[in-house]
Chains A and B, each alone.
Chain A
Amino acid sequence: MAASSALGRHWDVLVVGGGNAALCAAIAARRQGASVLVLEAASRFYRGGNTRHTRNMRCAHDSATDTLTGPYSEEEFFDDLLRVTQGHTDEDLARFMIARSKDMLTWITEQGVRFQPSLGGTLSLGRTNSFFLGGGRAMLNALYLTAERLGVEVSYDSEVVGLTLEGGTFRSARVRHAGGTAEVTARALVAAAGGFEANIEWLKEYWGPPAENFLIRGTPNNRGTMLRMLLDQGVKEVGDPTQCHAVAIDARAPKFDGGIITRLDCVVFGIVVNNKAERFYDEGEDFWPKRYAIWGRLVAQQPDQIAYIVFDAKSLTSFMPSLYPPISAPTLEELAGKLNLDPAKFAATVKGFNGAIVPGGSFDHTVLDDCRTEGLTPPKTHWARPVDTAPFYAYPVRPGITFTYLGVRVNEEARMQMADGTKAKNMFAAGEIMAGNVLGRGYAAGIGMTIGSVFGRCAGTSAAAAAARA
């Protein structure tokens, strides 16, 4: 069907967004018998928002499966969530989500999504997380195929630019499509349109001018348009607006959509300096998950939001390759020249670091080893080896924003809650737009997809029920 005629019809359930949460909602609603229209702001190729860049999902399970190496209890999942969020979570919703995650793998497999056999390898997530065969876009392709087979209509290049609500009741959405706008009416709404990380102006409200230098790792479409309209029209807000998942990524990455291959985690093998050639944080503080989660924010706090990971020939092949080759030079001074750093100061920083290393340590990046500095500020408390073997290398890094935490408040039906304390009548939310309910800060791999799938499925079922009553 042509999108324009789809936009002209009256629907049971209107799903705004086109990622994992949106598709789970659309499929769940359609399976309840509702007529469903999905509005995806992106073109067909770019459909799916940040789901395109995801790879795995974290679900509780009682025993090993074909794709998971061991049990992962609800209690352990909850403990992990508490640790990464430092308690910034709605315990009831979090426990509800974790309980529902147990049959999610079965449900999502029934929708055509496939997983690959458990990985040994680099990520150490084989017990807790299931990996999509072919990655997030493969998962999306499967979900879209299933949705279309069930009779869900999808309209691409369709951005919602206006919402008509009456209190907690959704009436219609104004949709920009094919050079014009259309008014779409539906009995129930599922908002699954992501966060606002691609809206630099909005980020600047909290981060100030430094936000201009942020790189956005995923879709340029997550501008928070739906979120803004919902909050402005009385839906209750949740989550800290200053919180976003920021990692250090290659500064040469494109402004948007660079995805996974611009990530760098060689911090542990060298030192990190800012553009004044000064170190600013303990590169050896902790392992990957924590390191990964903090370095984006650390770089964001440096002048011009840029830093350089510097290492030497000893470490070149010790970490995952990335998209761009490191910048290299035969001497530290020449490397400084290529990085536009003061050569004398840079050499002094490296020399000071090398000289502060306690001799006799035994390097092992798989444990918190005994290679450390003494009398240096900031210290490097583990994995400290002298940067002394030519050629020397550097990766320039900037903050790479993955997603934001500000969202709309929901309950266990994925039903939106209004600021005045009432419940929305026919409005539901799933995915990043409500992730802040369970993930107030921090991150653990695969939780975004759990939130999207679990609340997407709930939202779809609830919306179909609401539409049937309307």
Chain B
Amino acid sequence: MTAHSTALQEAERLMTVCNSCRYCEGLCAVFPAMEMRRSFAAGDLNYLANLCHSCGACYYDCQFSPPHEFNVNVPRTLAEVRNDTYATYAWPRPLAGLFRRNGLSVALFAALSVAGFLFGFMALNDPAVMFGTQVGQGAFFRLMPHGAMVGLFGAAFLYAILALFMGLRAFWRDMEARNPLPTDAPSLWQAMKDAGRLRYLDGGGVGCMNADEKPTDNRRIYHHLTFYGFALCFAATSVATLYAYLLDRHSPYPWWDLPVVLGTLGGIGLVIGPAGLFLAKKARDPMMMDETRKGMDAAFLAMLFLTALTGLLLLVARATPAMGTLLAIHLGFVFGFFLTMPYGKFVHGLYRYAALVRYAKERHRELAGH
């Protein structure tokens, strides 16, 4: 076993305590996964930490949670371990420190710098176009050539994908290190279903526990709005890309066209969802939180919220002289979002999915009678 961080040591202690109690085994996947083990290497603990959806039920259901002297606080400890994993597996390694500093200011600074650059670039290029009213097909590209936009954002996006993939690969290898299991389609599908409905954010059925022991489903609803909002926006971009390359149809599209409908619905989800999650976070029992890394969550939610909000504003005001300015700001946020994706809370989605796949595989093996 490698040298453990303080958080890993505490997680290891807790898993020993929890394994001798097991009252929580019906609440989520973490505890059955724990029961399949007697000892816990760092990779195991990192896996369990990313399998935890932080529903909080085990904290309020536990007879040994603080102030009891056994001090069993699974949600907080796994949150600390989980947040550490994001930095541990970051690619390239020297950028791991960004997770620690990835507060709201870093993300906003990146977004506004890019927005400022685009604004200057477009304004200097042709002030008349920038501050005039642009309508009809290709209006956006009168401000910025299509090739430049694709080049800039494509590069940022591809970099983000590469960095995310490398991080995920490192996590996967660590998780599988002690006991590799074959990955099959049913496991991938099972994990997709579990992630898609946030099966383990339901406190075992009644809803998650956030501010106190009274269950509520708020976080799940807001997370759904956020996740599916993001998916719709991603779909809107994908459809628009296909339109451009296959049909030679260029934005802005009329309001009833598919990319706009998808983007609008997604944008609304991405405004309400992150705002709700932020409010839920503010109401959360501080005992369950990793207080040292709240900035990372806030930055991610703020970037999603502002990206969506500027996108919706752009939609509303695209036929006015404000369009150029709003386009610069919106693209700045999109760019900033891409750039910070591999070094912020975005990775939790990938790691949690990977952990769910691992759990589906372990579960399958267990049911097969090992």
Contact = CB atoms under 8 A, between A and B. Distances in A.
Nearest to B206: A114
15 contacts: A45-B68, A114-B205, A114-B206, A133-B204, A134-B204, A135-B62, A135-B63, A136-B63, A137-B63, A138-B61, A145-B214, A257-B63, A261-B64, A321-B16, A323-B16
A166 to B, nearest CB: 39
Contacts of B214: 145
A260 B23 contact: yes
B27 interface: yes
Interface string B3-39: 0000000000000110111011111000000000010
Contacts of B63: 52-53, 135-137, 257, 259
Nearest to A43: B67
A254 interface: yes
A257 B68 contact: yes
Given A45-B67, A117-B26, 20 more contacts: A116-B26, A131-B26, A132-B23, A133-B204, A134-B204, A135-B21, A135-B24, A137-B60, A137-B62, A138-B23, A141-B61, A145-B214, A254-B69, A260-B21, A260-B23, A261-B21, A317-B38, A321-B38, A323-B16, A323-B17
B326 to A, nearest CB: 48
Contacts of B48: none
B246 to A, nearest CB: 50
B58 interface: yes
Interface in B54-77: 57-58, 60-64, 67-70
A55 B61 CA distance: 11
A254 B63 CA distance: 14
Main SS at interface, chain B: loop
A320 interface: yes
A197 B60 CA distance: 26
B126 interface: no
A340 interface: no
B213 interface: yes
A377 interface: no
A4 interface: no
B57 A134 contact: yes
Interface string B177-215: 000000000000000000000000000111000000110
B84 to A, nearest CB: 25
Nearest to B58: A134
A362 interface: no
Contact of B26 (A134, A136, A259, A260): A134
A352 to B, nearest CB: 32
B23 A134 contact: yes
A322 interface: yes
A466 B57 CA distance: 39
B57 A138 contact: yes
A136 B21 CA distance: 12
Contacts of A135: 21, 23-24, 61-63
Contacts of B20: 260-261, 320-323
A219 to B, nearest CB: 10
A114 B23 contact: no
Contacts of B58: 134
Contacts of A53: 63
Contacts of A132: 23
Interface in A188-244: none
From B63, B67, B205, residue with most partner A Cβ within 10 Å: B63
- 4 closest A-B pairs by CB: A135-B23, A116-B26, A134-B61, A138-B61
Nearest to A141: B213
Contacts of B67: 45
A133 B62 contact: no
A87 B10 CA distance: 48
A114 B20 CA distance: 22
A219 B61 CA distance: 16
B322 to A, nearest CB: 51
A55 B23 contact: yes
Contacts of B213: 141, 145
B332 to A, nearest CB: 46
Contacts of A320: 20
Nearest to B60: A141
